[in-house]
Structure formats: C-alpha cells, structure tokens
Chain A
C-alpha cells in the first residue's frame, strides 16, 4: 500500500479538510506524507483476515441519559466568542453563493 502521493492528491485532501496550503506546503506535505505512508506499508503485509476492528479502547456499551432538560447557555454565552454575529445569530459569508459542500 505504499502510496506515492501526487500534488493533485494533496490538493484534493486539503480541499476535503478545508486547509489552504501554499505551493511550498503542498510540496513538503507531499514528500512527508509519502514517507510516512511508506512506513505504514508494513501493516499491509500483516494478515488481519477476520480480526475484529477495535474502535474503542475499553469494551463497553453505550450508556443512556434520561430525557431531562438541563440548563442552556445564554444567547450571549453562545455567541460570546463568535468572530462575527448579527443580533442573535452567528454570521458567516453567504452560504449558497460559494459553498461546495453539503
């Protein structure tokens, strides 16, 4: 599974992760990630057929919470650290015009 990443791969991953990278960053990440992924190639050689993936460090089942209303933050607490707000709303650049996401 040793992957040699292309510049395009790195740019696509950066797009998914919403990271603006300079051309220098793209290039250094390309070589660093390629080296790291090479190091990971040992995993590929290991037979894991039928091995249960471990998603949690301690085996346990989901505990449930009673449906009792607790305190909410005040509107000012909720918006207190927002970089931009309008009245009781968080304000962001217009969504429809520019978004590539959902």
Chain B
C-alpha cells in the first residue's frame, strides 16, 4: 500500500516501527512528517510546550544510521526504533527544559533523565518534545497550564481534559505517534476519553516514578496514551518493570502485553458497578457505554452488576490525600536551588529569607496549585490530622476493600470514564468543586492502586468522543488490554496500518 509522506503520521506507532525496521520508511521521514504536522497544527491546539526539532532529527538520523548498520538484525534496536513520540512535561528529561507547566520551574534544565524517559530512549524512540498539562498535573482541563491553553482537537471551543490534556490532544491530532501521560486521579483516562484515544493507568508500582515530578506520591502513575490498543500495549512493555530507583516499584517480570491482545473476552466476567451508572451521567455517554456492554455480551463475556458501596467517599478522600501529599511534594520549590526566586519587594527592596519563600511561592504557583497546597497543609496540621488525613487514609482502605470484594467474582469492571463528554473552555474554571467532579469515576482506581484504562466507545451527535473505562485487578493489565483490543476490533475503530477510521477535523483555514 503506497502511503504519501503526510499520511505517515496517521499510522499507529506499531506500524511505524514495523516499517522502519523493514526499511520501508526512515525515522527521519517520520520525524520530519510530525514536525511539519506540529508546525501546521499546534498553533490551534496548543499541545506542545517545548518542541525539540533539531534534537529529534539528529536522533532520527542516529537511529537510521544504526538501522543501516544493523545488518539484518534490526530487532537489536528496540521495539520503538525510529518512532516519534512526545512526553507530558512532568517527566524529567536531561538537557531538555522541564516545566510541569508552572512558572515556578522557570527555565529548569534537569541534569538527569527519568526512568521511563531512558527506557523509551533505549527502545529507540525519537522524542519530538514536551506536552502541555495542568500545572503540576493538578486539574481536569489543561486550563491550569501556566504556559498556554490547550484545545480539544474535535472541537476547539472545548477542553481536551486534563491533566494530560496535551498528551491526549497531540496523539489524536496526529502530532506524535504516541505519548506518555501521568494519572493521579484520572489524568490519563479522562483526557483520553475527551479526545477519543486509548490511555492506560497501570497498577501502582508497575511503572517507575523516578523522574516524574511528584504530585501525589501514593497515587501517581505514568502510562501510555495512543490511538490503538496495540500501541498502548507496546509502550507499556517498554516502560513497565522494576526500577531500583523507586522504592515503590514492583519487582516482577513484565509480560509481553501484545501477546494478550488476541485473547478475546469469551468466558470473562465483567462487573458493572451500580454506583457508576446511577444518575448524573450524560444520556449520550450512558447510551454509548450501554452499547459497549452489549458488544461485550455479543463477544462472549458475561456481565454482572456489582456494588462498590464506598464510591461516594472517593472524591472527598481523594481531595484530602492528594493535596496533603502535594503540599509536601511541592515544598521543594522554594527558590533556593533551582527555578524562580522572588527576593525583592515591589519597590525593589531586598527581603529576608521568610519573605523570599512566600514571595517566590506566591508568584510561582497558579491558583489551583495554591488551593491544593492550602487544602493539604490544612489536612496535615497537628490537631486536624486525625480528623482529615488519617480519616481519609482509613476510608481509602474501605474503598480498596470494595474492589477486592468485587474482584472475587469478576475479572474486570466496566463503567463510563467521565460523566460527560468534553466541556467548554472556561465552563468549570469558576467553581473548583465542579471541576473536581469531572474526575468522579476515575479517582477510586488511583486510591485503590488498580490499573484502569480508557477505551473509546463512540461519539456524541455533535461529534465529541465518548470513553468507557475498564478497571482491572492489581497487575491485571493483560486482561484489560485483551478486552480493549477485542472491543476495538469489533467496532472497527482502527483501519489498515493502525489508522483510526474517524479523525478530528484538520486545520481550519
């Protein structure tokens, strides 16, 4: 099949990797195609905060040269050899500005690579640049980026979701082959749902957090975001696995996830948690998810209702645990060793140390980050700790037990990823609680440490993507990927070469 240069960008990452290895296309061609796409498109989308064109081309040439010298053994080059990808700008990259979309990091250039970054590099991936997010991954719309607003490629008046909004928008608008995001309360799955891509939050501990700027350490996980289930499986194989630099990393061999994709769902029992279907869900979303359930039944899965009775406590629990940890994790941004420092008054008088701290942090953090630092500081104060933080940690145990009980009888859980499709830019910025409610279905999974993924399952009449969420047992990624792949095949979402059958509108001109 002859594919024009511009069409290369629509191929899946797996297909690109295959063609590079087969010598059908060079990494430089792919990289140039994506850089051209970014130049055309990203002015409208705002997915990238840093584009590393020269570095990417140099890297592509290096891979091409290595391929030329591989003498018929291209597999030595790694499963992503030559494939252009991009990273949420909360992942630390040596020598490349890393901002967390915050003013406080100013022009920080890290002296080290995070573990997932070096693993991608070892797998041969080409890094195009760094992607937009809500400041320090705090938000559900990418509107909290201190750098720029990111738009939903399906409807530029709407948000891409967040906090990995740039990662989702870049993938669905073909500005990279695939990307990585991070998920603390839904930050991979919710934007994946809003943008209509596949995004997976792994089991806590499966992917290293070393070199991931911490938001809430006991909840954060890095995960792949891509247009196809196969690409997500491929990326997960590359980034997952034990890392001696992360004390919470699980020490277990990593399966070859792609091998699970053909397993199907026949004989699986899928649980449908009552609490995720009870009211508050947009009618079009509910219809699409119901249709997906029916599809699974057709494919031979059994579906049963289950109850996760503590679901309603997930939001308040999350908004105590996550901000408490965040208030601590963000204490290091103090203007001493890196990043922004404000040490003068408005009339240029030098201030003392205490005021230097307060001014630096007051000027460097945006409103949502300040809100969460305040909330977290409140919850950890002596005298309040037991009633707030400790209480939340106890409820967390109850939430986890709900899942353990459910997974005694089912293999997977299925629910909507979000109560609504993508909302309008500005719609929820005035009321933080409204924004928090956008994550209502995705929080529990992080609290319990479970794997979860978004799988596109349709569109609204107005053409906005709808996503369903699959939740698995701890380290149940293979079952989730098998179920997602079966669904993707059944609905014919992906065509030849891994190209999605439905794409967002091209550049408006």
Report whether chain A binds chain B.
yes
Listed in ascending order, the chain A residues whose CB lies under 8 Å from chain B are 1, 10, 13-21, 25, 29, 32-33, 35-37, 39-40, 42-44, 46, 48, 51-58, 60, 62-63, 65, 73, 77, 80-84, 90, 92-95, 97-101
Residue contacts A-B, CB under 8 angstroms, 30 given: A1-B387, A13-B374, A13-B378, A16-B377, A17-B361, A18-B354, A19-B361, A19-B374, A20-B358, A33-B375, A36-B319, A42-B313, A43-B316, A48-B398, A51-B394, A51-B395, A54-B394, A57-B204, A57-B446, A58-B204, A58-B250, A58-B449, A58-B474, A60-B250, A63-B247, A80-B111, A81-B339, A82-B337, A83-B335, A90-B337
Listed in ascending order, the chain B residues whose CB lies under 8 Å from chain A are 107-109, 111, 203-205, 218-219, 244, 247-248, 250-251, 310, 312-313, 315-317, 319-320, 327, 334-341, 343, 350-359, 361-363, 365, 367, 370-371, 373-375, 377-378, 381, 387-388, 390-398, 400, 432-433, 436, 446-449, 474
Within the assembled complex, what's the spacing in Å between the Cα atoms of A18 and B350?
A: 17
Provide the residues of chain B in CB contact with A21, threshold 8 Å.
Answer: 362, 370
Provide the residues of chain B in CB contact with A90, threshold 8 Å.
Answer: 336-337
Provide the residues of chain A in CB contact with B218, threshold 8 Å.
Answer: 55-57
Contact at A95–B398, with CB atoms within 8 Å? no
Q: How far is the CB of A42 from chain B (nearest CB, A)?
A: 6
Answer whether A53 and B337 are a contact pair too, CB < 8 Å, given A58-B250, A58-B449, A60-B205: no
Contact at A40–B248, with CB atoms within 8 Å? no
Contact at B391–A16, with CB atoms within 8 Å? no
Q: How far is the CB of B275 from chain A (nearest CB, A)?
A: 14
Q: Which of A19, A37, A83, A95 contacts B358 (CB 8 A)?
A: A19
Within the assembled complex, what's the spacing in Å between the Cα atoms of A80 and B150?
A: 31
Contact at B373–A58, with CB atoms within 8 Å? no
Q: How far is the CB of B213 from chain A (nearest CB, A)?
A: 14
Contact at B378–A33, with CB atoms within 8 Å? yes
Contact at A101–B354, with CB atoms within 8 Å? yes
Q: How far is the CB of B393 from chain A (nearest CB, A)?
A: 3
Q: Which residue of A lies closest to B397 (CB)?
A: A54
Contact at B377–A48, with CB atoms within 8 Å? no
Give the total number of A-B pairs whose CB atoms are below 8 A apart: 176
Contact at B111–A20, with CB atoms within 8 Å? no
Within the assembled complex, what's the spacing in Å between the Cα atoms of A95 and B336?
A: 12
Which label, helix, strand, loop or mixed, suits the secondary structure of the B interface? helix
Q: How far is the CB of B68 from chain A (nearest CB, A)?
A: 33
Provide the residues of chain A in CB contact with B111, threshold 8 Å.
Answer: 73, 77, 80
Provide the residues of chain A in CB contact with B370, threshold 8 Å.
Answer: 19, 21, 25, 29
Q: How far is the CB of B228 from chain A (nearest CB, A)?
A: 28
Within the assembled complex, what's the spacing in Å between the Cα atoms of A13 and B393?
A: 21
Contact at B341–A97, with CB atoms within 8 Å? no
Q: Which residue of B lies closest to A29 (CB)?
A: B374
Residue of A42, A54, A101 contacting most chain B CB atoms (<10 Å): A54
The 3 closest A-B pairs by CB, nearest first: A98-B352, A57-B449, A20-B362
Q: Which of B205, B320, B353 contacts A94 (CB 8 A)?
A: B353
Provide the residues of chain A in CB contact with B352, threshold 8 Å.
Answer: 93-94, 97-99
Provide the residues of chain B in CB contact with A13, threshold 8 Å.
Answer: 374, 377-378, 381
Q: Which of B338, B353, B393 contacts A95 (CB 8 A)?
A: B353
Provide the residues of chain A in CB contact with B357, threshold 8 Å.
Answer: 18
Q: Which residue of A lies closest to B352 (CB)?
A: A98
Within the assembled complex, what's the spacing in Å between the Cα atoms of A85 and B436?
A: 41
Q: Which of B339, B354, B362, B432 contacts A99 (CB 8 A)?
A: B354
Q: How far is the CB of B222 from chain A (nearest CB, A)?
A: 14
Q: Which residue of B lies closest to A65 (CB)?
A: B244
